Structure 1
Amino acid sequence: MLEALVAAATFPFRPLRPIHAIFLAFPLPLFLAALVSDFAYWSTFQVQWTNFSSWLIAAGLVGGGFALICALIGLLSVQVAPDRKRIAYLIVLSVMWVLGFIDAFVHAKDAHATMPEDLSLSALVRLLALISCWIGYSGFHAGEAAWRWYLLIAALAIALSGCDEDPRTAAVRPES
């Protein structure tokens, strides 16, 4: 029984692949810096702040594009049916990239013409970058992994107690 619990508890928990995690690390700080520079432009009206934002958004789109490609490959390479978390991650990452691309076009306009929509669009893209990083770095199949860790801890408790029976079924039987 102990061997079955240990075997059930040792399945691979699938976090992001390392290259995917590296690419996912780019959009969040770059889009955040773009939002800060948009806010600086809104406060000072110095045109150079919109140039900073344009470059930061372009760099965030490059990193986000590679993260999107990695997410799509990860979704297609799953041997079982993809779960909702992977699909939601891909959708949030796609929407973040598309809105970031629209934000890049907004920044391509004249600096004085960008301000009302620029700040709100940058804030929305930054929020989506935060959500995609949260979903991506939290890993996939977390519920199953938590259940398997519970089984592993139960197996270790059984092994350390020296008892050959499952403590959950022993508590159900009335004592004689």
Structure 2
Amino acid sequence: MSNPRSTAAIGGHPIHPLLVPFPIAFFIAAFLCDLAYWRTGGAFWSEAALWLIGSGLVMGLLAGMVGAVDAMGDSRVRALGKLQWHAAGNAIVLVIELYSFWLRYNYGAGEVFPQGLYLSTAAVALLGVTGWLGGELVYRHRVAVQSESEQTVERAVEGRPADERPRSVP
């Protein structure tokens, strides 16, 4: 039996794992900028955090939409309880960061400390949990991971030997 498939894919490669690192990196970097602002009071750090949060929101929405397409495309994925926790937790992260962005945009650097720092801390902590759950979906439940039989068929279609191993680049 094959593993649960990713329906949002390009050339057999799932899109969701391609997008996910961006909001994670942007939100963690915004948290670090908030810490730097707290320590230095430098306006650069509050401005950088605003841009990082905005970028994280855009990429997070894209990753969420693609993840929703994947969830709707395979009933085996939807049946996994961890998926609902993963999706709901990430939706909460986006709401927290949207509120943080709104505060910063409307009230300026003065909102970075302490409210912005509290919001960034909560978002990054929750990202740790939802990231773990996403890893569980891939590594334990094999969501969007090709089974060996699927890889064998793919190699046959491409005219490669069934037992061919990936080659390392010299």
Common fold by TM > 0.5:
yes
How far is 1:45 from its partner?
0.8
How far is 1:77 from its partner?
1.6
Conservation of the 8 A alpha-carbon contact between 2:86 and 2:133: yes
Report whether the alignment pairs 1:105 with 2:102: yes
Which of structures 1 and 2 has the larger relative contact order (alpha carbons within 8 angstroms, sep 6+)?
A: 1
How far is 1:143 from its partner?
5.8
SS in 2 for 1:139: helix
CA 1:136 to 1:14, structure 2 compared with 1: closer, same or farther past 3 Å?
Answer: farther
Matches within 5 A, 1:1-176: 10-12=1-3, 14=5, 18-80=14-76, 82-108=79-105, 109-139=107-137, 142=140
Conservation of the 8 A alpha-carbon contact between 1:20 and 1:70: yes
* Amino acid of the structure 1 residue aligned with 2:2: F
Partner deviation per Cα, 1:17-74 (whole Å, 9 max, x = no partner):
6310011111211111101111111111111110000001111111111111012112
Partner deviation per Cα, 1:68-121 (whole Å, 9 max, x = no partner):
101211222223553211111110111111111111112211212431111110
CA 1:144 to 1:93, structure 2 compared with 1: closer, same or farther past 3 Å?
Answer: closer
Percent of aligned pairs with the same residue? 24
> Which aligned runs of 4 or more in structure 1 are off by greater than 4 angstroms?
13-17
Task: With the length of structure 1 as denominator, give the TM-score of the two structures.
Answer: 0.68
Conservation of the 8 A alpha-carbon contact between 1:34 and 1:122: yes
SS in 2 for 1:26: helix
* Amino acid of the structure 1 residue aligned with 2:84: I
Task: With the length of structure 2 as denominator, give the TM-score of the two structures.
Answer: 0.70
Q: Which residues of structure 2 form unaligned runs of 5+?
A: 144-170
SS in 2 for 1:117: helix
Larger radius of gyration: 1
SS in 2 for 1:114: helix
User: What is the total number of aligned residue pairs between the two structures?
Assistant: 137
* Amino acid of the structure 2 residue aligned with 1:100: E
How far is 1:13 from its partner?
5.2
SS in 1 for 2:75: coil
